[in-house]
Amino acid sequence: MTATLPARTSSLMSTLPGRYYTDPALFTREQERVFEGMWQCVARTDEVTTPGSFRRVLVGRESVLVVRGRDGALRAFLNVCRHRGAQLCTEESGQVNRTLRCPYHAWSFGLDGALVAAPNLARMPDVDRVANGLVPVALREWLGYAWVCLADDPPSFADDVVGAVTERLGDPAAIEEYDVGRLALGRRIRYDVAANWKLVVENFMECYHCATIHPELTDVLPEFSRGHAAQSYVGHGAEFAPAAEGFTIDGGAGFPALPGIDPDRDRRYYAATIKPAVFLNLVPDHVILLRMTPLAVDRTVVECDWLYAPDVVAAGLDVSRSVELFHRVNQQDFAACERTQPGMSSRAYAAGGVLVPVEHHLALFHDWLRGRLGE
């Protein structure tokens, strides 16, 4: 017997049906129309600093290389040799001297993507070395990260990426106060979550669950215990508890506030979702950025970076108390997502679940997704 749920009542709104979280064919459409058609945050630019350094990343179904050129420019290419399709690089990161060389037939490509050498190439003067070079991928740099888009005609970066943060913070200059691009990586943790990527997004966007599973977080941000997510409101930042000195596991003092932050933003937490796969968290003394890579309909890798003032990282100061707070939140959230994933295939969820009023804004995410899928 399949449960039938109302599309909408005075208090309840319907969620997506369960098949949106379990159907492999639908996941393939998401890879094509969402993750391969939009801007994705893929790597920190300071991890690809010297000429010839590269990072291999997954964007939708494509392997992509982010490469630093000899001219200092950062570029991205599909990780596919133009000769017979072998992957050029299988390592997650590395360093080459002057070329990206295919280990199969020794075709070699410059750091600008052009074909520069191949066995017997001199005997083939008609070969266009640019046309037969690596396939370029659109790349932009922002917040100290490389963002790429596979689309032939990428959407507006200003609208879709920068605009998402501006819309949330309510002020185009607000994100600049944190000067995220100059911050240093203090800690990175990678989580392998046995759940659909949309369950992770939905969890991040609401706080109806916060009082239930996040006692450490609600001790520091008590308004979250009422179920209202900070990012439901333009420009609103959740205020620290009076006794909390910092955004740390025990509420103790953290580090001095980042120098450019407006005093009105001190002792406040802000969060923004940059669709489809980035979560940005701003507190006075550090920034937390999470980016997701869906690997399967029921598996999502989440990489979380904790970013601090450069002098904090250079001095080797202890960041563990601030890391531990959000790490624990992540563990609690991802466990909840993994607990939810099996229910998506139940007949009880065939028509979906429901959203209570403090979750109604999730319906906007569902509408956006349906639009991306052409429904």
Flag whether pLDDT at 7 surpasses 80. Answer: no
- How far apart (Å, rounded) are the C-alpha atoms in residues 93 and 66? 9
Pairing outcome for strands 62-68 and 115-117? unpaired
pLDDT at position 235, please? 87
Is 1.10.10.10 the CATH number for 39-149?
no
pLDDT at 5 over 70: no
How many Cα atoms are found within 13 Å in the side-chain-facing hemisphere of 98?
Answer: 5
Q: Give the per-residue pLDDT at 2.
A: 45
The predicted-structure confidence for 85-135, as pLDDT tens digits, reads as follows 999 999 999 999 999 999 999 999 999 999 999 988 888 888 888 888 999
By C-alpha distance, which of 365, 367, 361, 363 is closest to 229? 361
- pLDDT the model gives residue 259: 94
CA distance linking residue 235 with residue 121, whole number of Å: 59
May I ask the CATH class of domain 157-373?
alpha beta
Structure confidence at residue 127 (pLDDT) = 85
* pLDDT at residue 1, as a whole number: 47
What local confidence, expressed as pLDDT, does residue 122 receive? 86
CA–CA distance, 134 with 99 (Å, rounded to integer): 12
- Convert the pLDDT of each residue in 194-211 to its tens digit: 999 999 999 999 999 999
| Domain boundaries of the chain, sorted by first residue | 39-149, 157-373
Which region among 3-7, 207-211, 291-295 has the lowest average model confidence (pLDDT)?
A: 3-7
CB-based burial label for 248 (10 Å; 0-12, 13-18, 19+): buried
Q: Give pLDDT, residue 142.
A: 98
Residues 6+ apart with CB under 8 A from 370: none
Half-sphere CA count of 318, side-chain side, radius 13 A: 5
Model pTM?
A: 0.94
Read off the pLDDT of each residue in 270-290 and give the average, rounded to a whole number.
97
For 197-222, give the DSSP string. HHHHHHHHH--TTHHHH-HHHHHHSG
Give counts: helices (H), strands (E), the chain: 9, 18
98-112 tens-digit pLDDT: 999 999 999 999 999
Average pLDDT over every residue of 359-375: 95
Alpha-carbon gap, residue 189 to 176, rounded angstroms: 25
**9 — pLDDT class (breaks 50, 70, 90):** low
Mean pLDDT of the 270-282 span: 97
Residue 10 clears pLDDT 90, i.e. is over it: no
